[in-house]
């Protein structure tokens, strides 16, 4: 972007702030929790309708994901010879259908509240507003632009990952319009994630008459949880936490079945491999109990590389040209940007509008940040 274009762009987005907010509201008020095919397709239809109004859009592609909804790909300025810029995000939210009834769209001072507004429907709207600005201001980018909004990011991208990797492999770089970090910081690093379920299969017995004949699956899991938490290395960003546990059938029966779910976060693939090996090789303390591990590494880490820092510095300088401070940070949560980074494609994450409360009842964005972002 030429420095001379910055004032015109900022003025344009300031003038259009009301319309952008209305667009955000329309998209937010189409509830689209993960697995809600009807909601997903409704959001895609609204965004597709917006894309159809733009002459710089060359194609609109909906990819069906049975059981989840539709993924959306918008291609613009495709005749330009350079590799495309990939704008990445998702349309699914964690908020169940009906959330708007108790947490409606509302504005309180500079805060705009609504389920899914921060993570990340407002970011999706920004992508389309960028294309609109190019058209209205007659600005041509240096690269083609591809917008990809998946419909299953919040649940690990079971169908979206392949599409993200395919589009990212052809991109010059990727901008992820996920929620920004506190203070509006961009995300130049993200931990990778893995989830496992550890199941224990023991021997039932009457807890009063003959408990010695039983082998408690719950007791065995208690032993294993100590082993799992011993895998933590917080000093290098590795965490392994048992977050749910269940088991047993009645208060007077030695439990023959129990299971727990394990959340793992890591900053390097070597740590991911270490944890996975340790969990898969857990041995029972009580040999009468058998252990079963289900799960795998879900997302690789987004590691802060020189190319990512270079991309961040370019964004920081553009922001500084209109006195907007764009900081950077590294976070524990993962996104589809993790899949991009492992391909060696430069990626800058967390470029969404400033706000707070992702996945909570007080989720919101800052009204004043819309034009600048």
Task: Give CA angle at 293 (290, 296), nearest 5°.
Answer: 170
Question: For residue range 275-326, what is the model confidence (pLDDT) as tens digits?
Answer: 999 999 999 999 999 999 999 999 999 999 999 999 999 999 999 999 999 9
> pLDDT category, 8, cuts 50, 70, 90?
confident
Residues of the chain with pLDDT > 90, as a percent, come to 98
Alpha-helical (H) ranges within the chain are 6-15, 17-28, 37-52, 99-102, 122-136, 160-168, 217-229, 269-280, 306-320, 337-341
The yes-or-no verdict on residue 13 having pLDDT over 80 is yes
> pLDDT category, 5, cuts 50, 70, 90?
confident
Rounded to whole angstroms, the maximal C-alpha distance in the chain is: 85
Dihedral sign (CA 233, 182, 30, 340): negative
Cβ-count burial of 225 within 10 angstroms (0-12 exposed, 13-18 middle, 19+ buried)? middle
- pLDDT score at 143: 97
- Encoding tokens for residue 307? 């190319």
The yes-or-no verdict on residue 10 having pLDDT over 80 is yes
- Encoding tokens for residue 20? 């952008």
Question: For residue range 180-223, what is the model confidence (pLDDT) as tens digits?
Answer: 999 999 999 999 999 999 999 999 999 999 999 999 999 999 99
- pLDDT score at 200: 98
The closest of 356, 355, 357 to 368, measured between CA atoms, is 355
- Encoding tokens for residue 23? 């667009």
Question: For residue range 265-281, what is the model confidence (pLDDT) as tens digits?
Answer: 999 999 999 999 999 99
Average pLDDT over residues 123-135: 97
Average pLDDT over residues 18-41: 98
- pLDDT score at 72: 98
The yes-or-no verdict on residue 1 having pLDDT over 70 is no
> pLDDT category, 2, cuts 50, 70, 90?
low
- Contacts for 219 with CB less than 8 Å, ≥ 6 apart: 286
Mean pLDDT of the chain: 96
Q: What is the rounded CA–CA span in Å between residue 349 and residue 328? A: 10
Task: Give CA angle at 213 (210, 215), nearest 5°.
Answer: 125
């Amino acid at each position: 972007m030429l420095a001379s274009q910055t004032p015109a762009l900022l003025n344009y987005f300031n003038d259009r702030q009301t319309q952008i907010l209305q667009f955000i509201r329309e998209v937010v008020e189409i509830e689209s929790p993960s697995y809600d095919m009807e909601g997903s397709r409704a959001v895609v239809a609204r965004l597709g309708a917006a894309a159809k109004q733009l002459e710089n859009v060359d194609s609109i592609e909906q990819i069906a994901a049975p059981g989840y909804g539709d993924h959306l790909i918008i291609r613009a300025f495709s005749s330009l010879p350079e590799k495309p810029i990939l704008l990445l995000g998702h349309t699914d939210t964690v908020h169940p259908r009906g959330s708007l009834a108790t947490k409606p769209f509302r504005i309180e001072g500079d805060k705009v509240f609504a389920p899914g507004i921060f993570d990340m429907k407002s970011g999706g709207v920004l992508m389309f507003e960028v294309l609109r600005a190019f058209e209205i201001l007659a600005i041509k980018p240096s690269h083609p632009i591809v917008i990809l909004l998946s419909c299953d990011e919040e649940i690990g991208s079971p169908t979206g990952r392949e599409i993200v990797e395919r589009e990212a492999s052809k991109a010059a770089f990727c901008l992820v319009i996920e929620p920004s970090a506190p203070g509006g910081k961009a995300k130049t690093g993200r931990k990778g994630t893995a989830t496992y379920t550890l199941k224990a299969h023991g021997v039932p017995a009457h807890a009063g008459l003959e408990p010695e004949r039983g082998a408690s699956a719950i007791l065995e899991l208690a032993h294993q949880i100590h082993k799992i938490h011993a895998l933590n290395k917080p000093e290098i960003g590795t965490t392994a936490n048992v977050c749910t546990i269940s088991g047993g059938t009645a208060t007077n029966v030695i439990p023959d079945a129990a299971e727990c779910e394990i959340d793992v976060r890591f900053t390097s693939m070597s740590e991911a491999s270490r944890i996975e090996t340790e969990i898969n090789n857990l041995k029972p303390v009580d040999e009468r109990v058998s252990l079963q591990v289900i799960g795998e590494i879900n997302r690789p880490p987004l590691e802060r590389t020189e190319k990512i820092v270079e991309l961040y510095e370019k964004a920081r300088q553009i922001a500084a040209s209109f006195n907007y401070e764009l900081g950077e940070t590294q976070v524990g949560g993962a996104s589809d940007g993790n899949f991009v980074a492992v391909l060696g494609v430069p990626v800058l994450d967390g470029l969404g509008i400033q706000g707070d409360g992702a996945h909570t009842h007080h989720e919101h964005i800052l009204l004043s940040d819309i034009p600048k972002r």
